[in-house]
Structure 1
Amino acid sequence: MRRFQKQQMTSLFVPIIPGAIIIIVIFSLDYFQFELVEKFLLFAAFVIVPLVILLLKYDEKNTPQRIIFTTVKLLQFPAALFVLASMMSSKVWELQGTSIQGALSLGWLLLTGLLCMYGIINIVIHKGKIAETAIGAGLIYFFIGGIWFTLYQYQLNIFQANPDTHALSSVHFHFSSAIVPIFIGMLGRIMTKKSWYPWVVAIDIIGPILIAIGMIFSKPIEYIGVTLFACNIVLYTTYLLTYLKRKTLYKKATYFLVLSCLAFYIVIILSMFYPLLKKRFALTILDFIPVYGSLYAFGFVLFGLIGWIYMLDFLKEKKLYNYQ
């Protein structure tokens, strides 16, 4: 029985194996000549989005949602390959300055557009369910991330922002704006409802917009958005750790979710001590960006998604979870 359960759990992640192999190669070899921000975007395309898709379940009675879900599953990997081809066209194939890299990015824009449509349908068919609103909002934000990626690949200057800002905005929407509402939505599906929960979801929806606006137009607005968003994640991680401590759950789910929370706390601690470390070791923010990015993307986001996938499968097996 245990062997069967182990095989079942392992099979959950089969869809991401090809993408994971590609990402390992990209991060390991200098041949691709990608910037760090571009590597993180590829990581989102090949690993993060496929994991998010594993958390989605469609309503059998809703034909549009079922069709979109099936289409997203089929197109995800080809769309990720378009992201890779788009970046390679300028970095490896020396086609920069042409419209080819921008045209290739449209494949990912299409996929994130489908995720956006799924998110809207999810909000509509679960009207009044705050957790589903949060998950739907996260899926919508993937589309905004796709728009920023296309702007970056077309090398357009828009909203008084240069292409580098577009790349950072795309990473922001793929990793923070989309993922955090999905995490909080997953928590909302299993937790005992609290009076503060709708406020957390509301801030999660508004916060990324404030950050994006602030990145382009106003630093104070960006700081407000970041502060609200960070406080929300602190509340999410604190409640989740308390929940995991009270409940006897599948060990792998607990393990990865705890690691996810700890990774976020390490990011917070490093941020607090950054001024001291900068003076003592003559470090700059450029030295910390890879550390922050890795802890957040590989720690908080990746471990969190794996943990929630294990959690969802465990609760379904024990018949403690009902999507409907």
Structure 2
Amino acid sequence: MKESLQRMRKFVIIHILLFMVAIVFSDAPWPYALLVVAQLVYIPVLLRMVCTERDWFWKYYPYVAIPAYTAVVLGQVVSTRWDGWIATLYLLFTVYIALYGITRFLRRGFTNVEEFAIDLGLVYLAMGGGWYVAFVAGIDLGFSPLLTWLTAIHFHYSAFILPIFIGWIGRLHRSILYRWAVAALLAAPMIVAVGITFSRWIEMFSVLFYIYGFCAIIWIVWQLSFASSLQKWLLRIAFSALAVTITFSMLYVLSNGFGLFSVTIDFMLRFHGVLNCVIFALVGAIGWSLDVPPSSFVPLTFPRSGIRGRQVAEKIGQVGGHRGLSDELSVYGVSSGSVSPLIIRFYEHTLDFRLYASTHWHRWFKPFAFLYSFISKRTQQINLPLYSDAVEMTGNIFTLDEGLDEREKVRVWERKVGEQTIFTALYSQHKTNERMYMNIALPLPYSTMTGILELQAVDEGLQLTSKRTDPASDTGVYLSFNNRDLFTLPLQETFFIQETEKGNLKATHEMWIFSIPFLTIDYSIVYKGADEKRG
């Protein structure tokens, strides 16, 4: 721990010295220091606190960071006709950071909103690098050089430093208020950029987003307990400064766009810029350096299938190894005393039933379903009809060749409509913390989508759902490209099956994306009867 602090201290000192060299030998106006200090001090120090894993990022970091920092210093102290090309070295560095942000996101997916805030901050920085190159190279983007430079500052402070700070706040606090505040603050940087380009009304709307997000975050910060009293007051001061800076932003928009006040860019640089640079960024960075809260994200470790794409068609073994999707439904805590015996029979003797399905794509999603159909017809996976007419789904249950899937008791249920394969799903099960889950894998090109469902008896029917009500639950829908990382998809599904008065079954399969319903499949499941059973 002591060695780590010493390395961090040396790291900070080196970057402060770089900044001092850039400023002392520069003849640029003083406001240029607002961007340079972010590039040479805040960004590397925050990266040191964010990127704690010794992986590929730090392995190749010197090869992109040293040229980038050199380019920033040279851009301040000398002027040549190659300035634009030299500045590109800094852009490449920010793209490298953005790639790391994307990698962090792909390791988790749509979960842990506080980590997503950090990921997006890392990605946004590349936009700041692009605007910086445009300013140095004198590229005409339709704005004055001053506005181009201010936009570069915007993406370094509001779009990089701020998301990282609010991400760390989220590691200490979780609430609906926090989630909405994060959504507003992460959307605002892009809305500001659009507003500057197209409309003062859009720009004002983005400032309103900031006001809401800042007010919520400031309130949360003042309620939180931190590692020490010093950290608590440093962060309270840092975040409270945002209340002042966003007020200046609103006055500037009203002045520039509507002429209601007289607020100049020089005034904004002296007060808004300095407050963000010194009070928010510097005091905030010092406060977080006292103790960075650990991430609450815990990678899921349940068994998953390694079958990809159409490999499954080549690796199916014999027919008849299994007659149902589960050998014994009681392992999920489901018994004939809690659900209809016919439902249990369906899962344990699936081939004794005929399935009729009616697919209903929600209106807003139909264009996406149409475009996806060109892919699904080739992959023969999730290849659902675009029409809602009832069709019979036929198929069979197969076993996999031994040793091809790390999960236990795997069986393949292939469903077809006519000659078209609709689903090829690999059913299994696993137990975590004494709770049994249905583990369903759908092989996709170069990847596998896995649905982890929890079973529960509801009104003599059976509900299977991927919705997570317990943070420790494995339920969810995931995508995997390797056997190490799981990408949590923004999908949820619920399958409810019950017995009808006629002694058959009906089921409803509903799916949501970002909690918005987009697909409903209604099933009519008919028991064939003893005389139609297969031997």
Asked whether the two chains share a fold, i.e. TM above 0.5, the reply is yes
Q: How much does 1:272 deviate?
A: 8.4
Q: In terms of Rg, which structure is larger?
A: 2
1:210-268 Cα distance to aligned partner (Å, 9 max, x none): 10111222211111112212321222122012103xx5x22442242123123334435
| Equivalent residues in 2 for 1:1-324, closer than 5 Å | 9=5, 12-24=8-20, 26-27=22-23, 29=24, 31-57=25-51, 66-72=55-61, 75-90=64-79, 95=80, 98=81, 100-127=82-109, 128-158=111-141, 160-191=142-173, 193-244=174-225, 249-267=227-245, 285-312=265-292, 324=298
Q: Pick closer, same or farther for the CA change 1:323–1:10 going to 2, 3 Å.
A: farther
Q: How much does 1:169 deviate?
A: 0.6
Q: How much does 1:171 deviate?
A: 0.3
Contact 1:109 1:150 in 2 (8 A): yes
SS in 2 for 1:32: coil
Contact 1:210 1:222 in 2 (8 A): yes
- Whole-angstrom distance in 1 between the partners of 2:135 and 2:95: 17
Q: How much does 1:198 deviate?
A: 2.7
- Whole-angstrom distance in 1 between the partners of 2:192 and 2:125: 15
Contact 1:54 1:309 in 2 (8 A): no
Task: Tell me which moved more, 303-312 or 100-109.
Answer: 303-312
Q: Pick closer, same or farther for the CA change 1:43–1:287 going to 2, 3 Å.
A: same
Contact 1:263 1:299 in 2 (8 A): yes
SS in 1 for 2:291: helix
Contact 1:51 1:306 in 2 (8 A): no
Q: Pick closer, same or farther for the CA change 1:284–1:138 going to 2, 3 Å.
A: closer
Q: Pick closer, same or farther for the CA change 1:204–1:261 going to 2, 3 Å.
A: closer
- Whole-angstrom distance in 2 between the partners of 1:173 and 1:288: 16
Q: Pick closer, same or farther for the CA change 1:201–1:73 going to 2, 3 Å.
A: farther
RMSD over aligned CA atoms reads 2.8
Letter paired with 1:22? L
- Whole-angstrom distance in 2 between the partners of 1:291 and 1:204: 21
Aligned length in residues: 288
Task: Give the TM-score normalised by the residue count of structure 2.
Answer: 0.49
Letter paired with 2:33? K
Q: Pick closer, same or farther for the CA change 1:211–1:80 going to 2, 3 Å.
A: same
- Whole-angstrom distance in 2 between the partners of 1:124 and 1:152: 32
Q: How much does 1:307 deviate?
A: 1.5
Contact 1:37 1:167 in 2 (8 A): no
Letter paired with 1:174? H
Q: How much does 1:145 deviate?
A: 0.1
- Whole-angstrom distance in 2 between the partners of 1:51 and 1:255: 21
Structure of greater relative contact order (alpha carbons < 8 Å, 6+ residues apart): 1
Gaps of 5+ in 2: 253-261, 299-535
Identify the structure with the greater strand proportion: 2
- Whole-angstrom distance in 2 between the partners of 1:126 and 1:259: 32
Q: How much does 1:305 deviate?
A: 2.0
Task: Give the TM-score normalised by the residue count of structure 1.
Answer: 0.79
Q: How much does 1:291 deviate?
A: 2.3
- Whole-angstrom distance in 1 between the partners of 2:236 and 2:63: 32
Q: How much does 1:174 deviate?
A: 0.3
Q: Pick closer, same or farther for the CA change 1:255–1:75 going to 2, 3 Å.
A: farther
Tell me which residue corresponds to 1:277: none
